[in-house]
Amino acid sequence: MDLPVDEWKSYLLQKWASLPKSIQVTISTAETLSDIFLHSSSLLQPEDELFLRRLSKGYLVGKDSDAPFFYREQGNKKFQEKDYTAAAVLYSKGVSHSRPNTEDMSLCYANRSAALFHLDQYETCLKDIIRAQTHGYPERLQPKIMLRKAECLVALGRLQEASQTIGDLERNFTPTPTLADVPPQTLQRNLHHLKMKVQEKENLTETFPATLAKTLEDVALGGENEQLSNASSSVGLCIDPLKGRYLVATKDILPGELLVKEDAFVSVLNPGELPPPHHGLDSQWDTRVTNGDLYCHRCLKHTLATVPCDGCSYAKYCSQECLQQAWELYHRTECPLGALLLTLGVFCHIALRLTLVVGFEDVRKIVKKLCVKISNKDICLPESNNQVKTLNCGRGESEKNGNRVETPIPGCDANGKYDSNYNAVFNLLPHTENHSPEHKFLCALCASVLCRQLEAASSQAIPTGVNSSQLTAAVTPELCPDVTIWGVAMLRHMLQLQCNAQAITTIQHTGCKGSIVTDSRQVRLATGIFPVISLLNHSCSPNTSVFFTSTVATIRASQRIGKGQEILHCYGPHKSRMGVTERQRKLRSQYFFDCTCPACQTEAHRMAAGPRWKAFCCSSCRAPMQGDGVLRCGNRSCAESVVSRDDLVSRLQDLQQQVGVAQKLLRDGELERAVQLLSGCQRDAESFLWAEHAMVGEIADGLAQACAALGDWQKSATHLQKSLRVVEVRHGPSSVEMGHELFKLAQIFFNGFAVPEALSTIQKAEEVLSLHCGPWDDEIQELQKMKSCLLDLPPTLVRSV
Q: What mean pLDDT comes out for the span 624-643?
A: 80
Mean pLDDT of the chain: 84
pLDDT interval class at 794 (50, 70, 90)? confident
pLDDT at 387 over 90: no
User: 524 has which bridge partners?
Assistant: 505
pLDDT interval class at 262 (50, 70, 90)? very high
Choose the weakest-confidence range: 418-427, 458-467, 660-669, 761-770: 458-467
Total number of residues shown for the chain: 801
**pLDDT on residue 45:** 95
Residues 629, 742: Cα–Cα separation, whole Å: 37
**pLDDT on residue 382:** 40
Closest among 43, 34, 35, 33 to 12, alpha carbons compared:
43
**pLDDT on residue 385:** 37
Asked whether this chain's domains 66-175+183-202 and 615-792 adopt the same fold, the reply is yes
CA trace torsion 262, 265, 266, 269 (10° rounding): 0
**pLDDT on residue 332:** 93
pLDDT at 453 over 90: no
- Kindly report, residue by residue over 654-686, the tens digit of the pLDDT: 999 999 999 999 888 899 999 999 999 999 999
DSSP 255-303: TT-EEEEEE-SEEEE---SPPPPP-SGGGSS-----HHHHB-TTT--B-
**pLDDT on residue 491:** 96
Identify each DSSP E strand in 312-394 by its residue range.
316-317, 374-375, 378-379, 392-393
- Kindly report, residue by residue over 524-579, the tens digit of the pLDDT: 999 999 999 999 999 999 999 999 999 999 999 999 999 999 999 999 888 888 88
Q: Where are the domains of the chain?
A: 1-60+336-375+415-456+480-502, 66-175+183-202, 235-264+530-600, 615-792
**pLDDT on residue 371:** 56
Are 14 and 48 within 8 A, CB to CB?
no
pLDDT at 119 over 50: yes
Q: What mean pLDDT comes out for the span 646-655?
A: 92
> Which residues, 6 or more positions from 265, have their beta carbon under 8 angstroms from its beta carbon?
354, 357, 420, 421, 422, 425, 528, 529, 530, 531
φ, ψ dihedrals at 142, nearest 5°: -55, -40
CA distances from 428 to 272, 394, 552 (A): 27, 17, 20
**pLDDT on residue 97:** 96
pTM of the model: 0.85
Q: How much is the CA Rg of the chain, to the nearest whole Å?
A: 30
* Amino acid of residue 662: A
pLDDT at 32 over 60: yes
Domain topology for 615-792: 1.25.40
DSSP class of residue 313 equals S
Closest among 635, 633, 660, 629 to 647, alpha carbons compared:
629
Does the domain at residues 66-175+183-202 carry the CATH identifier 3.30.70.1560?
no
What percent of the chain stands above pLDDT 90?
57
End-to-end CA distance of the chain: 46
**pLDDT on residue 468:** 39
pLDDT at 181 over 60: yes
Are 335 and 359 within 8 A, CB to CB?
no
235-264+530-600: CATH superfamily: SET domain (2.170.270.10)
**pLDDT on residue 362:** 87
Closest among 540, 578, 522, 499 to 772, alpha carbons compared:
522
Closest among 598, 713, 453, 578 to 445, alpha carbons compared:
453
Q: Which residue has the higher pLDDT, 621 or 651?
A: 651
pLDDT at 306 over 50: yes
Residues 269, 314: Cα–Cα separation, whole Å: 11
**pLDDT on residue 478:** 46
User: 398 has which bridge partners?
Assistant: 405
Three-state SS for 83?
coil
Choose the weakest-confidence range: 483-492, 611-620, 784-793: 611-620
Choose the weakest-confidence range: 15-19, 400-404, 670-674, 697-701: 400-404
Q: Residue 629: which region, alpha, beta or left (left: phi > 0; alpha: psi -120 to 50)? A: alpha
User: 624 has which bridge partners?
Assistant: 617
Q: What mean pLDDT comes out for the span 83-92?
A: 95
